[in-house]
Amino acid sequence: MVFDRLKGIVTDKPYTLNLADPDGKKLEFESGGGITSMGHYVFAAEMTQGGEGTHVSLNVHTGDNTPKALLDGWKNQKAGEKLLKTLDEAV
């Protein structure tokens, strides 16, 4: 259920889905640069079943062709938090 919801969010929003592995419960996708950013974010999500539900592990980093900046870590964290909040609201 969580895998399908996240995949739906990725395909509905301005992301590009690069990999969807329903057996391994993995998604890889990226977002394009916006007005305030020169590059894009690359996301890797993996879902595992736990005792209390599904655990989502999300890795976010800037794309290879994106200029590096001091605030990258903060921006990556915010992009990840925004995506997880959207997923939480959808589930």
* Residue, of 80 and 45, whose pLDDT is higher: 45
- 82, burial (CB in 10 Å: exposed 0-12, middle 13-18, buried 19+): exposed
Q: Residue 21 belongs to a domain with what CATH number?
A: 3.30.530.50
What pLDDT, on the 0 to 100 scale, is given for residue 45? 94
Q: Does the pLDDT value for residue 79 go beyond 70? A: yes
**Spatial CB neighbours of 83, under 8 Å, sequence gap ≥ 6:** 9, 43, 58
Domain with 50 in it: 2-90
Question: DSSP characters for 34-59?
Answer: -TT-SS-EEEEEEEEEETTEEEEEEE
Q: State the pLDDT at residue 31.
A: 85
Cβ burial of 80 (10 Å; 0-12, 13-18, 19+) is middle
Model confidence pLDDT, tens digit, residues 14-63: 788 999 999 999 999 988 765 555 567 889 999 998 888 899 999 988 77
| Counted domains in the chain | 1
Note the pLDDT of residue 33: 64
